[in-house]
Structure 1
Amino acid sequence: MARRKVSNTLALAVLGLLQEKAMHPYEMASTLRERGKDSSFKVNTGSLYDTVQSLRRHGWITEVETVRDSRRPERTVYATTDVGQQEFVSWVDELIRTPATEYPRFMAAVAYLGALGPERAVEALSERVRHLDRQIEESRQLQDETVGAGLLPRLFMIEGEYALCVLQAERAWTQRTRDEIRDGTLIWPEIEQVDRGREDKS
């Protein structure tokens, strides 16, 4: 599989927004934040402008006009090119079809949950459940305020449904594991501590 000339997911978000209409980068950033997509894509002014310029250099988007407003600096409006449209559709198709190996930090930490000891592990997992509860509530509220209120078609926010399912699944696993530690059904073996600073001279 050939490596794409532009491969960061923020570029995917930009191309996705330009499916709706031509936009300038400031409007792109505002729209991503309003729709809660900054939880899926890392959005900041510098990275967004760098991404837009990279897409322009590779011919995936093009300038269509410059908007002038006496109260604001000039803003360049962009639209996708035919090449950019083809790349976008191909990229989405590839990402949907083919699972990619990812390395979440939480999974890496869970591999060493035993290092915390039962009591501290219960405390840490309980705190994670509280954070997940807040994220789940925020996700539901955003869906209600956009799709539920009829402001956006469901298809435009469908990744929010997926993200909510992932959060709920993670919460269920985290709470279940915490409860198993708490009631003793998840066995916590006694691990002999080794003093690595000494050598056995016997």
Structure 2
Amino acid sequence: MSKQVLGVLCSGRGTDLQSIIDAIGRGEVDATIALVLTDKPDAYALTRAEKAGIKALCIDRKQFDGRQPFEEALIKALDEAGVTLVVLAGFMRILTPYFVRHYAGRIMNIHPALLPSFTGAHAHRDVLAYGVKVSGCTVHFVDEGTDSGPIILQAAVPVLDDDTEETLGARVLEQEHIIYPKAIQLYCEGRLKVDGRHVRILPAQK
């Protein structure tokens, strides 16, 4: 099986990107990152990519007249780089069906809550407001809804009585950095089978 080629989309610090770069460096993820894309020119993810010798581009949404021209530019860059799996790592734009259909079954995202609960951009705030005792993170395939695609892996994190968004977010992020590379490697090994809403993890080949 040929090695998967990743295109990683980020909007901010790029800590999930760094966890993937590090996992590849340790030989835990059998893939290459061909391209890092951001939608913000000041995203630190660009610096992380540069330090790792990975091609990085900013495609600024503000420079486009509408969502489709913006997504067309994303697709052009990803396709030209030969990307086979799109990895959303803190990409703070909702992708339209136009983009999702182009990469159907080949887009992953990580969300900082246990889906299907607490979707959207303010998961930690919503978790604390609701008073749940357990939160966590979810890696899922991206479909045409918001945080609604089939779930690949999840990790649970206790919610403490004195938690703030920052303290809870820091503990969840530690788990993100563990399970996102694992999910990518399962994809690279061809071990993820999607059956409706269910993602079956197939046994490793001997």
**TM-score (normalised: structure 1):** 0.26
Higher helix share: 1
Higher strand share: 2
**TM-score (normalised: structure 2):** 0.25
